[in-house]
Structure 1
Amino acid sequence: MTTSNAGAAAAEAPQDSTRRVAARAALAGGVGTFIEHYEYGLYGFIAGIVIGPLFFPSEDPAVGLLASFAALAVGYVARPFGGIVLGAASDRYGRRPVLVFTLLLIGVATAAIGLLPTYAAIGIWAPILLVLMRLIQGFGAGAELAGAITIINESAVRKRKAALSAVAMAAVGLGGISANLLTTLLGSTISPEAFLEWGWRIPFVLGAVLTVVGLMLRRTMHESPEFERVKAERAAGLIPPAKLNPFVAMGRAVKASPRNWISAFLLPSGFNVTGFIVAAYSISYVVGVRQLPLNQALQMSLIAISVGLVALLLFGLLGDRIGTKRVMYISIVGGVLFAFPYVAILAFGDIGMIALGSVVMYIFGWSAGAAAHTVVMPALFKTEYRASGLFSARELQGAVVAGPSALIAAALVVASGGQPWLVGAYIVAGHLVSLIGMLVGRPFLGATELESTPSLRGWNPRD
């Protein structure tokens, strides 16, 4: 090989390596997110159908429904603790080892739910154990999606940062689709009695198989190049070491820019509320209030999630062309505009119109914002304390806003005598909160980074 050819090969090698690292991070990082939302989607689909009667029996079906969605919200109580503790660990020890640990926690707890005895078998211990498993899942999930977003974002090539980062959120949709498909398949092939007795357990136990596959894939994942740079700078004494106390680590991230931490807390509100209402609560409303067939309701949700997943990937590509800031505003405007038409269709439309309304609401209310925030939110924090800031803000938001959204929607409908109009107002409020988050945030971005990263177009330099 000539000297010039060797020099050319050496120049190209780092770029090829970066592409491989980015691809492996996107694949392995998305696996745990898939499993997390496979479980959350699964629980949401069957909460009002199985979990209520089997674990929270009551003479009033509405009470059992509220209790089952309360158990869904309980998982979000543990998520902030997981986010704070494991976020500090991610900033101290690395993104990769924390993601392996979170995957193990979520997978084991998911499988365990499928093996739990019911209230009829062990009484009050049944809901207690269910809540315990939800807490374990929540602790692990507190670092799973945020961790996947972080490592994929930090590993992505700059010109494809939005498209690659959107993979983490695409895994959310894939998890929901898989849960829906399995539930629909079981519901259509076995009797309702068999589904209630044992069929519902199969998708949960399958979580153990998915966990093993995920752990094998995450063995191929490299540490993010940005974190490796931080490790080298720490070793050279250029930046201070990571904080061992997780609450001190979170405090450091908040202190660095309080307005950015607040922005990260507020930003996901709109698409989180929309996602849980369209993908989870709407099934219970259509079946419980509108008295439409369960299989049709599940198919409706499957269509919305499937189309929304494709839209999310397209919004990721769009973010690399026009900037994720603009894509985020598309989500906010779309969520506000379509909220009340969507709930009107829920209240009065047939199943075909409900499916169409769900698709439109999911595309603009969830897909666009979910894609954009995977780039916007990491930019709010510097690499050395990014996980502590991002995980804590995102998961505290989940506990206060996202987790209880299906429960709040159910309560609003009960308070309105079965009418969903307050749910429309709730969706609008969520997106207005996201708007405030966008206006508050001031990402840490230098002129060089902005120039070389198309998805960050529209922000002003901070460094």
Structure 2
Amino acid sequence: MTTEPPMTTPPPMAPRSPSNGAERSARSGTRTAVAAGVGTAIEWYDYGLYTVAAGLVISKVFFSGQSAQVALLATFAAFAVGFIARPVGGIVLGAASDRFGRRPVLIFSLVLVGSSTTIIGMLPSYAAIGIWAPLLLLLMRVAQGFGAGAEMAGAIIIANESAVARRKSYLSSLAMAGATLGVLTASVLFAVTSTLFSEEDFSSFGWRIPFLMSAVFTGSGLVLRRTMLESPEFEEVQRERQRGELAQAQRNPLVAMADAVKASPRNWVAGFLVPSGLNVTSYITSAFAISYVSGVLQLPGSYALLMSCAVFGSGFLALLVFGRIGDVIGVRRVMFIGVAGALLLALPYVAILRTGAIVPIILASVALNAFGWAAAAAAHAVIMPALFRAEYRSSGLFSSRELQGALVAGPTPLLAAFLVGVLRGEPWIVAGILAAAQLMTLAGVLVGRPLFTAREHAETPALKGYPVHP
């Protein structure tokens, strides 16, 4: 997105020129988007492993001293802890991204999440060291969450800022597609390892193999991230700072976040609300659905893994499709498609979940994820960066998006599992949670005032359907 310096510098809404005075080539923008997406795939392989493993082995290995229901709740509490750490990482690393650059922060976050995931694969079980097992797991989840607080938002920003106008939606969506590919890889490897080992051996050591493989993937991702180009918009911001046209970036992360909020409070609130629907839908169709199928319905774990692979595989393809559609009809309209689709599918999804028939459950999960997650995810990869100017974009986007994750998305599987338990296995409340999240997203889209010039609006097909505000 083209941006403007605040208050004291060039005329309002004056567009910045990219790094060398001429727009980078489409090939360069594509290379950066792919590098961001592949790096995100590796990092979200790490972060997604816990999502896949949560309902299958984590409760048995690290919380085996508790009843089945308490162990499941404790597992999802550890899941939520990662999201509580994410806004802390988002605030701290968002300020670093606005000060030092998008690229170095993405390299740091990859190393932090990858090393934490590898260590989880080495942790002794509850049976071996007692209470220290869940405590060490929580510590690693905090480290994962801190690093992940910069990963997805950072990848979206660098892909968005590097993309040529005519492919803004599709190239920005590659960061989200990378995350889906990473979780899909985690699901596939879990499915393979669970097939190769007996149930006893898988619970004992087989589940650790995908976690330990994170070390190899992280090393590969580090090489890729080091070759990634810096965002041309950030490079221009740095030049304006050197010329004294912009104030230097804030050192204090809390001050940096406060400045982003004060620059446009309504846009920061919009940045908090917009990801609600897609995040909640994702974790309902993955973490909660897996635990419901294997825990409440008592279906084989292989069924849950098959569902996970189908959901994330189809979600990856659907996101790329909606990314391209966004460059044709505009991302605002794509977001409306996602919200409407999820609202229409919420009740049918729960009704099918109650049947206990795995094939209809898989098909329903795929359909809900394709609309409630994929369409909205593709659209928000353009909408979110447009809410903030480049000089404070990371501080604004990281903090708003990750606080939403901590307060809304992260606790969703825990809340859903608890309420379903209270209702003796009846999952109807899940439909209400899904609907409420979609309405939050809709409110965010309507409240936000994306920052772009009339020229950008005319040159960027993804902005079709947005009014040009004075």
TM-score normalised to structure 2 length: 0.94
Match of 1:111 among 108, 118, 142: 118
Identify the residue that residue 438 of structure 2 maps to in structure 1: 431
CA distance in 1, matches of 2:21, 2:201: 56
Identify the residue that residue 458 of structure 2 maps to in structure 1: 451
Contact 1:267–1:434 (Cα < 8 Å) also in 2: yes
CA distance in 1, matches of 2:237, 2:271: 22
Match of 1:286 among 287, 293, 317: 293
Identify the residue that residue 3 of structure 2 maps to in structure 1: none
| Identical-pair percentage | 57
Contact 2:56–2:301 (Cα < 8 Å) also in 1: no
Contact 1:265–1:393 (Cα < 8 Å) also in 2: yes
Match of 2:332 among 320, 325, 332: 325
> 3-state DSSP class of the match of 1:58?
coil
> 3-state DSSP class of the match of 2:161?
helix
Contact 1:41–1:280 (Cα < 8 Å) also in 2: no
> 3-state DSSP class of the match of 1:242?
coil
Contact 2:43–2:218 (Cα < 8 Å) also in 1: no
Identify the residue that residue 17 of structure 2 maps to in structure 1: none
Alignment of 1:298-309 (within 5 A): 298-309=305-316
Structure 1: state its 5+ residue gaps: 1-12
How much does 1:191 deviate?
Answer: 0.1
Contact 1:18–1:155 (Cα < 8 Å) also in 2: no
| C-alpha distance after superposition, 1:318-359 (max 9, x if no partner) | 000000000011111111110010011000151111111111
> 3-state DSSP class of the match of 1:239?
coil
How much does 1:37 deviate?
Answer: 2.2
CA distance in 2, matches of 1:146, 1:425: 27
Identify the residue that residue 268 of structure 2 maps to in structure 1: 261
More displaced stretch, 65-74 vs 25-34: 25-34
Match of 2:384 among 372, 377, 389: 377
CA distance in 2, matches of 1:17, 1:379: 19
Match of 1:90 among 89, 97, 105: 97
CA distance in 2, matches of 1:409, 1:306: 24
Identify the residue that residue 139 of structure 2 maps to in structure 1: 132
Identify the residue that residue 151 of structure 1 maps to in structure 2: 158
How much does 1:48 deviate?
Answer: 2.5
Identify the residue that residue 179 of structure 1 maps to in structure 2: 186
Asked whether 1:312 is paired with 2:341, we answer no
Which residue type is aligned with residue 216 of structure 2?
V
> 3-state DSSP class of the match of 1:377?
helix
CA distance in 2, matches of 1:284, 1:36: 23
Contact 1:44–1:281 (Cα < 8 Å) also in 2: no
Which residue type is aligned with residue 392 of structure 2?
Y
More displaced stretch, 43-52 vs 361-370: 43-52
> 3-state DSSP class of the match of 1:29?
helix
Match of 2:345 among 334, 338, 355: 338
Contact 1:21–1:221 (Cα < 8 Å) also in 2: no
Contact 2:56–2:294 (Cα < 8 Å) also in 1: no
CA distance in 1, matches of 2:312, 2:416: 19
Alignment of 1:349-364 (within 5 A): 349-364=356-371
How much does 1:25 deviate?
Answer: 1.4
> 3-state DSSP class of the match of 2:414?
helix
Identify the residue that residue 204 of structure 1 maps to in structure 2: 211
| C-alpha distance after superposition, 1:53-85 (max 9, x if no partner) | 211123420100110111111011111011001
More displaced stretch, 37-46 vs 388-397: 37-46
How much does 1:121 deviate?
Answer: 1.4
CA distance in 2, matches of 1:114, 1:301: 21
| C-alpha distance after superposition, 1:361-387 (max 9, x if no partner) | 011110000000000000000011000
Contact 1:273–1:430 (Cα < 8 Å) also in 2: yes
| C-alpha distance after superposition, 1:204-223 (max 9, x if no partner) | 01111111000100121111
CA distance in 2, matches of 1:146, 1:317: 20
Identify the residue that residue 224 of structure 2 maps to in structure 1: 217
Contact 1:445–1:460 (Cα < 8 Å) also in 2: no
Which residue type is aligned with residue 441 of structure 2?
S
How much does 1:196 deviate?
Answer: 0.5
CA distance in 1, matches of 2:181, 2:66: 36
Contact 1:75–1:134 (Cα < 8 Å) also in 2: yes
CA distance in 1, matches of 2:415, 2:367: 22
How much does 1:18 deviate?
Answer: 2.6
> 3-state DSSP class of the match of 2:25?
helix
Identify the residue that residue 235 of structure 1 maps to in structure 2: 242
More displaced stretch, 347-356 vs 81-90: 347-356
CA distance in 1, matches of 2:75, 2:128: 18
Which residue type is aligned with residue 350 of structure 1?
A
How much does 1:23 deviate?
Answer: 2.2
CA distance in 1, matches of 2:208, 2:148: 21
Identify the residue that residue 192 of structure 1 maps to in structure 2: 199
Asked whether 1:121 is paired with 2:128, we answer yes
Which residue type is aligned with residue 154 of structure 1?
E
Match of 2:281 among 274, 299, 307: 274
Alignment of 1:32-43 (within 5 A): 32-43=39-50
> 3-state DSSP class of the match of 1:197?
helix
Contact 2:169–2:381 (Cα < 8 Å) also in 1: yes
Match of 1:249 among 244, 256, 262: 256
More displaced stretch, 304-313 vs 373-382: 304-313
How much does 1:17 deviate?
Answer: 4.6
Contact 1:55–1:127 (Cα < 8 Å) also in 2: yes
How much does 1:41 deviate?
Answer: 2.4
Q: CA RMSD in A?
A: 1.4
Match of 2:354 among 324, 333, 347: 347
How much does 1:86 deviate?
Answer: 0.5
Which residue type is aligned with residue 197 of structure 2?
I
How much does 1:192 deviate?
Answer: 0.3
CA distance in 2, matches of 1:14, 1:29: 24
Match of 1:392 among 389, 394, 399: 399
CA distance in 1, matches of 2:440, 2:429: 17
Contact 2:55–2:294 (Cα < 8 Å) also in 1: no
How much does 1:158 deviate?
Answer: 0.7
| C-alpha distance after superposition, 1:96-154 (max 9, x if no partner) | 11111111101100100000111111111111111111101111110010000000000
